Structures are given as C-alpha cells and as structure tokens.
Structure 1
Amino acid sequence: MTVTVTPLRVRDPAAFGRVVVLLGGSSSERAVSLESGRNVLDALRARGIDAHPLDGIDALRQALVQGERIDRVFNVLHGNRGGGEDGVLQGLLEAFAIPYTGSGVLGSALTMDKIRTKQVWMASGLPTPEFVRLAPGDDLRAAVFRLGLPVFVKPSCEGSSVGVARVQTEADIDTAIAVARAYGGEMLMEQMVVGDELTVGILGDVALPSIRIVPKGGWYDYNAKYVAEDTQYLCPGLEGTDEEAIRTLALAAFRAAGCSGWGRVDVMRARADGRLYLLEVNTAPGMTSHSLVPKAAAQLGIGFEELCWRILEQTL
C-alpha cells in the first residue's frame, strides 16, 4: 500500500500567528503531557513559529477572558478530568472561535469514552472485542464468568494504561476488584485478544504505516510506554495486504467515531486467525521520545519538526 502525503500548504511561519501550546493539565496523564508539550514547543520554535506554552485549561480560560492574543492552539493535553481529550477544551475554543489541532467536540468526547466508542463501531459493522460495562458497585466477579477468561478491566474514560487490570485466572479477580474500587467510576471489561498489539497513526486523510509493539515484559503497560527502553517498535507492523487492511480499518474507525485532524487507533491482531480488533482511539497522542505517531511519520520521511508543522497546518 503506497502512502502519499500532500505537500506543505504554507512555508511562512508567520502564517500561524501567535500559537499557544497547551500542555500539562490536571489529568492522570499530566507528566506525559508536559513532556509532549515541551517537545512540540521546541519543534515549532525551531521552525520560526511564535509559540508559547500554557499549562492547563484554566490557564487558557484566564488568558482568553483577559483578551490575550491567541491565534490558534496546539493541544497536547492528554486524558479527561482536566485533560484536553474529552470535548471540554474543544467546546471552550469553539466558543471563542479559536482554531485548534485535533478532533472537534464530538470526536473528542466520544472517543474518551471507550464503551460508547465500541458501541458506535459495532453499529458501523467494525470489529471490536466483546465487552461488558461495569457501573460502580456492579458484580465484577459475575461479569468475568459471563464474558469468559481472560479479560482486561480498565476505566472507560482514562488513557495511557492508567488503572488497567489483567484477569487471566480466577486468582486475578480480587486484584481487578480492588483496581475498580480504587478508580470508582465506570469500568470496561473486555475480552483479551491474544496476539499482536498494533497501532496506526492518522494524519489528516492518511493512515500512517502501522507499528507492531513488542514489550519485553509481554504487556504494553505504562512503564513499557513511557519508561522502559527495551520495548521494540516494528514499523511497518504488517506486510502486504495485511498492512493495507489494518490501515483501511484504522481510518474507517477514526472517521466512524467522528474524529478529524490527527490521532492514533489501537488495534489487536489475533494470533489464532489473524483477525483485527479495534481497541480505542487517541485524539491527542503523545509526542514524547517513546511516542508512536512520530515513529510512524518518520517512516515516510517526516521528521518531528515537520510533523508538528503539518498538524498545525490543519488549523489554517
């Protein structure tokens, strides 16, 4: 599958005006967002763009109310509850008519909710693992036996593998119950697909080369994502028609969820039969040294600075 990216639309950094890079925030993914934001800020400034950092939505709100000049926002806030992926930030910027990177209100709000995203995919005929919704206080043990082992239990509205429990045997159920109680919100119990973990970055209307993730410890958890240096990233993750199929599926899933601009779609490929299963969408992916969208873009000859420029171009 040949991947073609369009030429840059503008060459003059002044075309972007005064850009705010929104980073940090108060979600559970604050540390990742701070690193992503610093990287984006450095990349934009290296290209001559007038870029300035702001930490969190409240700081942005104050700047807007005080009339500070903001021509566009590069959003690298991650997560919800003070993050920038649940539609709240997008609604604020829409109200002030300020262009911003990434998906709009609907796509952001929907994909932050894994359960509702899966319901939309199922209604669209797109493949995703079987699941059970767990409201606070629901009988998790009974749900495990209803769905069948092995399963993942995770918050419906968190990212970066925060609060995830693996239940491979009955002995793991008590740990999962403790994780669910500690989180206190709605949980998703999802059948575990045994196979390869892959991800596909989206840049505009282009699905980037897939990446197959091979963590040394066997699980792609928070440590493997952001700390460990021994996780392998194979790009492209698949070959031939399989690679074409996963990119086509990822782009369809991204669009079905109302997303636009750029993002990342996580997919599992079953080892037994090669079937693909959609897991979730990230509408403000990480931009750290371990992050996946920059790795995929690099396969097309798009360096980090150019990637940031192309993302910001989408706001023009």
Structure 2
Amino acid sequence: MSSRASHRVAVLMGGPSAEREVSLSSGRECAEALRVAGFQVIEVDAGPDLARVLDDLKPDCVFNALHGRWGEDGCVQGILEWLHIPYTHSGVLASALAMDKTRSKAAYREAGLPFVESVIAAKADVMAGHVMPAPYVVKPNNEGSSVGVYLVMDGANRPPQLSDAMPEMVMVETYAPGRELTTAVMGDRALCVTEIITSGWYDYDAKYKEGGSRHVLPADLPAEITEACLDYAVRAHHALGCRGMSRTDFRWDETRGIDGLILLETNTQPGMTPTSLAPEQAAHVGIGFPELVAWMVEDASCNR
C-alpha cells in the first residue's frame, strides 16, 4: 500500500435500508477516524447511482459503513467486485450468508456450532395462529439491528399481529432465554466478550438510543463460557467465510452451563462508532479507534 496521505478512501454510508441512520452515524465516525489516521477520505451517501459515483471518484479503497439490506447482504459487495475496488469487511458470499439467517444456521450446523431451531412461515399464518409453542421470536429472515422483531412469551393469548412493513415470509425461532453476550473477531482474533444489559428486550432502541443498554466488558463469566464464546465466534467467522471484522451474538442460559450457550447471529458489518460493541472491544485490548479503522482499510481486498 502507498503512504496513507496519498491513499484515497471512499466511506460508504447511509443507503436505503431500515438502518440508514445507524449507518450515517457509523460512517461519519469512521471517516473522521480515518482522517486522524492520515488517509484522504471522501464521504459517500450511497444510492442507486453508486457504481457511477465510484467510477468517477476512483478511490483506492472503499470503507463499507453501510448496514442492513443492499449494503450488507452482498449487493454492494458485488458492485465493488465488478469495479475492482478493494473494500473492507466480508465479500459477496459471506455477506449474503450472514444476512440470511436460515443459511447462517446451515453454516453453523456444518461447523458444529449451537443455535436455536427455527422455521420460515407465511406472515398470514403467523398472525392466524401460533406456528410453534411459545415462547418464540418472529423476525425478518434478512434484517439486522433487531429491526422488526416480535417476542411472543408463554401465556400469550393471541399470535403476534405483524406490521405491514414485515415481509410476506418471516422466520419464527424458538426463544433462547439468558444473558446477552457478544464477541468481535478481528481477522482471526477474537477480542473479548461483552455482556449487554438492558431493562427488557434488546431491540433497536436498546441498541442505539442513549441509555438503552449498558455494556460490561469483559463480561463476568465462568472461564469455560468466556473461552467458548471466543472459540465459537472465530469458528462462525470462518464458517461463513468472513474477513476483516465480524461480531457474533450469543444467549447464555446459566442454569444449563455450557449447554445453555447458543449463537444468535453473526454480523459482518457491526456498528462502527467509537462506543459500538466491536470498537469498544478493540479499545479494551489496546486498539484505538483510528488504529482499528486504519487496519480495516489496510486489510481491504476484492476478488474474494
């Protein structure tokens, strides 16, 4: 790589997904940190003309700070491959697999990783009657940030009435009780385990609104559970074919010991503000935010 001062990085942010505002926040923070690290930075609010915009800009690298569908599911990655521009985070296949929760679970199964069972059901059927015994969770099969998640607990008198924004086919998943844990992976290195403490369900507001949740790192866990989280996160990263940074989320039912630890999902483009979970873990192990985003740019590639 040429010197940072001559290296032009386009930071993609915004986009059309339900996670647009989160992406704008991540993108602005990453752009500023990359400037601090010495790169030339161009901020790009990604839209349908993205290929033309990037062809005109001709950056040396793209920092992909998009979240949600289109930016995180392999579509933008395909555009970047076609333009032969190195980019951060995972490639086309890993991005598509991780965003599709059903296919993620198939990859977990092949890798021998624990997860909860689920079915894909028609939205109308889910609203007409319980498609599995409560407690269970209803969610889109291909969204992140807890967008469109419905929790149906024991004793619910009626099935959930889903919003018009929900897709016609949804995932219905056995509810996994326990503590919320997460582990970021940087390259081949699991950083640490964070426990996420909320007053209720870890939904979109708990993730992104001030005071919605509290992060404890390193999580106060038995050594066996900490080691398992670190191991499972790296194995999930490899099973999906991720590169760069990913973050795997867990639930742990401490009454069941190691058998109570299950994977929820792997995020190939975790939130990237300095106080987001993955950067917090990097800071905990001594990697500052500008250093982290610089590493991601220097790790960028295409044709993978």
TM-score over 0.5 for the pair: yes
Rounded to whole Å, the distance in 2 between the matches of 1:41 and 1:185 is 37
Displacement, 1:186? 2.5
Q: Offset of 1:50 from its aligned partner?
A: 0.3
Structure 1 residues 299, 103: closer, same or farther in 2, change over 3 A?
Answer: same
Q: Counterpart in 1 of 2:65?
A: 76
One-letter amino acid of the structure 1 residue matched with residue 177 of structure 2 = V
Q: What secondary structure sits across from 1:209 in the alignment?
A: strand
Moved over 6 A (4+): none
Residue aligning to 1:20: 10
Distance (whole Å) between structure 2 residues aligned to residue 290 and residue 151 of structure 1: 30
Aligned to 2:94: 107
Kept in 2: contact 1:132–1:143 (CA 8 A)? no
Give secondary structure in 2 for the equivalent of 1:312.
helix
Q: Is 2:233 the partner of 1:250?
A: yes
Q: Residue type of the partner of 1:233?
A: H
How far apart are the structure 2 equivalents of 1:27 and 1:300?
32
Residue identity opposite 1:13 in structure 2: R
Cα distance per residue 1:199-245 (max 9 Å; x no partner): 11111111110111011x22211111110325221111234232111
Residue 282 of structure 1 pairs with residue 267 of structure 2: yes
Q: Kindly, what percent of the aligned residue pairs are identical?
A: 43
The letter of the residue matching 2:43 is: P
8 A Cα contact 2:274 2:289, kept in partner: no
Match of residue 52, structure 1, among 42, 57, 62: 42
Alignment deviations for residues 155-194 of structure 1 (CA, whole Å, 9 cap, x no partner): 11111111100100343644x2324x54123311111111
Per-residue deviation, residues 95-151 of structure 1 (Å, max 9, x unmatched): 11110000000000111111111122123321101212113433455554xx32211
1:132 aligns to 2:119 (yes or no): yes
Residue equivalent to 1:263: 246
Report the secondary structure of 1:171's partner residue.
coil
- Residues 134 and 156, structure 2, Cα contact 8 Å, conserved in 1: no
Deviation string, structure 1 residues 44-88 (Cα, Å, up to 9, x no partner): 0112200110011434212234x33211100010000xx411101
Distance (Å, rounded) in 2 between the aligned partners of 1:138 and 1:211 = 37
Q: Structure 2 CA distance, aligned partners of 1:315 and 1:246?
A: 26
Matches of 2:294 and 2:248, distance apart in 1 = 21
* Structure 1: gaps (5+ residues): 1-9
- Give the match's secondary structure for 2:12: strand
Residue 261 of structure 1 aligns with an amino acid whose one-letter code is: G
Q: Whole-Å Cα distance in 2 between the matches of residues 51 and 228 of structure 1?
A: 28
1:178 alignment partner, SS class = coil
Q: Is the Cα contact below 8 Å between 1:19 and 1:72 reproduced in 2?
A: yes
2:204 to 207, 222, 235: 222
- How well do the aligned residues superpose, as a CA RMSD in angstroms? 1.9
Q: Does 1:95 align with 2:82?
A: yes
1:163 aligns with 2:148: yes
Aligned to 1:272: 255
Q: Which residues of structure 2 form unaligned runs of 5+?
A: none
Residue aligning to 1:116:
103
> Are the equivalent residues in 1 in contact too, given 2:205–2:212 (CA < 8 A)?
no
With structure 1 as the length reference, what TM-score do the two structures score?
0.88
